[in-house]
A and B are shown apart, each in its own frame.
Chain A
Amino acid sequence: MLMPKNQNLIVERWDYRLTFAKEGRARYISHLDLMRTMQRAIKRAKVPIWYTQGFNPHAYLMFPLALPLGTDSRIEILDVALTEDIPFDKVVEMLNSSMPEGLYFVNAARPVMKHTEIAAAEYDIAAELSSSADEMLAKWEGFISQDEILIEKRTKPKKGRKQPGVKLIDIKPHITVVSAEADGNILHLKLRLPAGGEFNLNTSVVTDAFFAYAECEPEQIYTTRTKILAVNGADFV
């Protein structure tokens, strides 16, 4: 009879909330790939990661909020558990010893809030246009002052049907504009959008809807996530 491999289970564990950056070339790593990448980084760093119990033990890693492909951030959260109590700055130093370009840790701390408390995130969007952004800024004002902003959202196929349905939803109430500015050819938008388990709104949904409204194709859009916020409006910690 085969026995579970991880029999000498270490029950004692210390929880860490790590903050990391994902930028430059690393912004093209998908969420699923990031999981693997971090697992390997932790293994290389010889940080004593806590393994789950069972026939197929695996390193315990938890990302409470996925970062969309192509978005930069310096405030991403990764929760891990270790089998030893190691000082926070030491953990960061160990992890940063062998990271790929564009991925690095900036902080470690004990988790304070629960994942379910995440409610929103803030983003800086820089849309590079082929001409002056002043006109687009005016269009943005028009776009955002509409009574409703309808987008098509694909729904899961109904029982017994293969085709996914399409449903119109109004995203207007979910968008909070922190600021909107024109700077040469660049349109800067600072938005707060819902995030977390309840309801998620990607920046690309908003920008796609806007540029369709404005009948314009931007040269390039750079997006940075700047804040992850809890239900009470404070930074998620």
Chain B
Amino acid sequence: MRAVIQLDNVSKRYWLRRNRSGELKVRFLGLLHKDRRETRDELWALRDVSITIGQGESVGVIGRNGSGKSTLLKLVAGIHEPTSGDVRVARGTRVGTLIELGVGFHPELSGRENVFLNAAIHGLTRPAIEALYPAIVDYAGLRDFMDVPLKNYSSGMQMRLGFAVAANLDPDILLLDEIFAVGDEEFQNQCRRTLAQFLSAGKTILFVSHAAASVRAVCHRVCLLEHGRLLYDGGVDGGFNAYHRLMLTSSPAPSPVPAVQATALSSSAEAAGEPWHRVTVGGLWDELGELQFDFLKNQGLLPSHYLLDVGCGSLRGGIHFIRYLDPGHYIGFDCDEPLVRAGIEIELARVKLDPARATFIVNDNFQLDGLPPIDFAFAQELFPEIPLTTVITCIAAVVKKLAPGGRFYVTYFEDPNPAETAPVVQPSGVVTHPDMFPYHLNFEVLAGMCRSVGARAERVSDWKQPRGQVMAVIARA
């Protein structure tokens, strides 16, 4: 499939201005008074977004208000220029922009004059417009009104005329922004029929909307944006599942990794007699640690490999890995400093291992700077504890650190029904939720999130975990 739209690490920064210096007065006063000076805050509407869209694809861009959807569309349309990164479209394609219906319509001009003006704004030449004109009039169904000034049209008629022009301009790439939000049902149906014809003609559609029904009717692929970052790139069901979960866990800013709160996973019987640092990570301490170790050895872990243990906690797996790997090749990451300290001081001391054989990183935003390329990364029972936005932060951070051929194994509770956002009773009896601990995750959502950071995910079937979590492996695409 030939790529027709390509976004390469695209970022877009806006300046939010107070005391705009559009007036010279502000400039002069600013020299005297500090508080009259122009101040500007930066707002990153898009951050490192990479998307490639092939010919004939219909891609929906979803996300809540202010997530950067419209900015993305305007960058592809050439209305804005990216602050960094590259926006490219295939040479020789015609891009049709439908961000607003009836761009440049003037109420005093007649319908016919407005059609010619509107088509000219979209770059058509006179003969081309004249050839299209009868089709536009037929499509709008306004044959008797073409010589009437637009101010005498109803708003519905104006909309029909606007869409009639746009629908007949015949672009190779159509950029749409929420046009279904307006108009009656008949108009919406007409729009959908037209878009279906577009797709069957092999044209490419990029469609911004939060209306699930419209996106489902038109698109086969969805890109989810949140705070300007691409969070998901994949199938429609997974995209909306991720989107609805975002709405449920609605947080104004990307949340840091929450403190581990996994006690709910362990039964009280397991907890009895266990020290706190073992209970906190969910009990079954020894079994799970060995399980991890055996699994990774079967996957080809050698002592010379570098291993990143994401959410290393109190080192239930760590004690096995540190003994097995070459000195310095185990890197443990967690957000909970007391827990890691307990692991080092109690568990490592218990098996008489030197803490200097390992590296530990403790922070709550997945800062993994200064690490060597990682051959194996492992996130055991981490994803059920963190919300979706944190999952994507984690995947993005780890994937960036993977060596060529490196793999990142993650476990999570499977969400069998991505079209709904209800709690799920897992086979092991644990009730998982889309919006609170313990979280579940659908594989398609995971795969889409991986795709958004240039990685791909596969299911791992030969993994038997006592609490019923499933495993997936993530590698660079």
Do they bind each other? no
**Interface positions of A (Cβ within 8 A of B):** none
